[in-house]
Every structure is written in structure tokens, then in C-alpha cells.
Amino acid sequence: MQIIEDSLDNLLKQVAIRTNKVANRAEVEKAVDDIIANVIENGDQALKDYEKKFDGIDLKNLRVSQQEIDDAYAQTDQKVIDALKLAKANITSFQQMEVEESFIDAKKKGVIRGEKIQPLAAVGLYVPGGTAAYPSSILMNVIPAKIAGVGRIVMVTPPQKDGLIKAVLAAAKIAGVDEIYTVGGAQAIAALAYGTETVPRVDKITGPGNVFVATAKKKVFGQVDIDMIAGPSEIGVIASSQSVPSQVAADLLSQAEHDKLARPMLITDDRQLADAVNKELARQVALLPRQEIAQAAMDNEGFIAVVDDIDDAFTLMNAVAPEHLEVQLPDAIEYLNQIKNAGSVFLGFSASEPLGDYLAGPNHILPTGGTARFFSPLGVQDFVKRTQFVSYTREALAKEKDAITTLARVEGLEAHARAIENRFEEK
């Protein structure tokens, strides 16, 4: 990967340029607009037409039968089933700690205030097809929704000529998906947002997808809620002379193999480590089945930045705001407060990023593209809504009515003021 050695100010400028790159998506936007309009107008038929056009599959039924799901579960390797169940247990134990409680405040005489936490009624999960169909992502999306109390969880995934991946269906069964439909792409997002004769409308759509899926989610936001607009995978590693080059390289490649646009990034205060990691990357990438993808990611988006000291490394990494951040330093947990912007943090030499992808419990649905500055990982709180309520007695309202009418008239809203005063006029 490219090694950059410069002042902190110049490195920060270079990071900003890399983060702010905007792709030209005019053609994608137009195509997605057309797809959404067609699904709204023609429902199931539009979905079937697109699956025939894009995937070459003539669908008779959109919904996957319970028998097909049960058969796939029975045919999945028991080691895979056991691993999925262990992952579910760990994810559940972590996500349960995110549950928020409703509250009532009645400290002031005559006044009751509060907030009611309620689950969403229905959520849709998009699962990509082919090599991007990750059973682990199904657990990460569905389990927090189940903990939140969502009543109906609908999964959509593109049909496959050889049938849906058995481990995907098994994961859906283990996680507790209620319905599965074989439809993919922007048309699947449109179906979840607006509903068709067969696919139910939902309140929120989660899950990763290609540029067409991401664009469709952006387009339907407001009609439904979405989790986030996810971009290519990212990993940032902060390391020093005490870090192990082979481990740093292996972890960078763990995300580089996802996508040619993935962003593997190392920031270190040791030039010798930077050179050693680069040698390890060249050695290890040649051993990977997805060598071409990982190499392209390193060449296109990857970099190694050499800074003056570890404090500068954290300053620069906070500007990057990576999806995944590894702190491969001794006593790594002592640096936790220096981390301001990151989706998920891995502390210490043994906390390799795939630990979070599969088994530790924290969610691996994370903000990308620098959005960890203001977005958070997917969690239980993303599947609930908050309804606030208030009750005043006439006596309590009388104590505050003048302040209310004063503010209303300052804003030029006379009817607001009169709505309060009306309650104190003699009839």
C-alpha cells in the first residue's frame, strides 16, 4: 500500500480529500427512480419482470415456503448451525443491554410528563445474493429487532438459479425471520417501502446492498425509515513498534477482501513497522482466494500513514472516522477515551476485527464513509419509536399560561396563545 509520511496538518488534508470523494451516480439515480415508479404501479408483476430481466429467473412464487426453509436448515452443516447459535447467544446478551425503558415524571404538582417506548410494527431486511449473502448479517439485523419487540420481520433476497443459500435460510430461521421473499435489487426496496400484492409494506428497511440498493434506500427514506446508507467496508489500524506486522497485515486484508473499493488503513509512528506490514501484505494477499479484490482495494483506497507519535495517530484516525478501528497497542483499553469517531473499536493484539463480524456480540452493521462522526452501530434503539406525552391539571396550566402566551405572541402565533387563554375565559 502507499506509505504517506508528512506533517499532521498535511495528512489531515489528504484524509479529507479521500473521505469526501463523491461518485457520479446520475445514471443510477434515474434507473432507480424508474424501478420504484414501476413497482408502485405494477406491484408483483414488476418484481417478477425485473427478476427475469436482471437474474434470468422466471419466478412463479415470490414467497419462500416454510418447507423450503426447514429443509435448508436440516441440510446445513451442524458445525455451521452450532456457530450461528453461539453467535446468536452472544449477540442477544449484548443487545439486551441496549433496551431502553419508558419513563413517567410526576414530580411537579398537577403535571405528568413522560415518554413511551414502542417497537416498530414491521421491519424489512435486505440480504444480498451470491458471495455477498452473509448469514452473520441476518443475525445482526434481526436479533436487535426481535429484542425490541418488532412484530413482523420480513426478509428479501435475490433468487438464485441453484436455489437460495442454505446457510442463509438457516440463519433466518435461527434469528426468527417471519417471512422471506425472493426479490432483490432496487425493486425489493421499493416493494418493502410501498408494498405489493404479496410483499408487505414495512416501517423500516435495514441491510447492506449494492449501489442500486443503497440508492433505493436513500430514495424511499421518509416513506419508511432506513438504517443508513452503507458504503464499502473500512478498517483502520493504529499500531506501533510493539505491534506484530503479520497480524496487522492479516487484519487489513480481512476487510480488503470484501470489495475493490474497501478501505484498509494503517496509521503508525514507526516507519520500520510500516515497511514490514507492506511486505507482509504482499506475501499474504498472494495466498487469498479473493486476491484480485484485496489487491485492488489496497491499490485504490488503502494507505499507510506515518506520524510523529501515537497521539497524532488518534487525531488522524478520528478524522478518518473508520467503520472498524483496531488499536494494536499494549494496554490498548487505556486509549479508549482518545477515540472520538469510529463505528466499532477492537482493543488489543487479540481483538481481531472478524471477532466483531461474527461472534463477540456488538453489531457489525456500522457507519462507513466517515459517517461514524454522527451515526452509530445498528442496535435495539433503531427498532423502537418514542412517543412523548403530557398531562396538566387546570391549576398547573394556570401557573404557566402567561409564559406560554408570551412565547406564542413573540412568534406571531396568536391562535396558539388563544388556545391557552380559552381555558380561563368565563363561558
Distance, in Å, from the CA atom of 224 to the CA atom of 49, rounded to the nearest integer, reads: 24
Q: How many CB atoms lie within 10 A of CB 331?
A: 9
Q: What are phi and psi of 172, to 5 degrees?
A: -65, -40
Which positions are catalytic?
Answer: 323-324
For the chain, the first-to-last Cα distance in angstroms comes to: 81
CA–CA separation, 284 and 356 (whole Å): 22
Please compute, for residue 232, the number of CA atoms within 13 A of its CA located in the half-sphere on the CB side. Answer: 22
User: If we measure between CA atoms, which residue out of 255, 277, 384 comes closest to residue 323?
Assistant: 255
Q: How far from chain centre, in Å, is Cα 154?
A: 17
Cα 126 to Cα 168: distance, rounded to the nearest angstrom: 12
Beta strands 384-392 and 111-119, pairing class: antiparallel
SS3 of residue 228 by DSSP:
coil
Q: What is the 8-class DSSP label of residue 200?
A: P
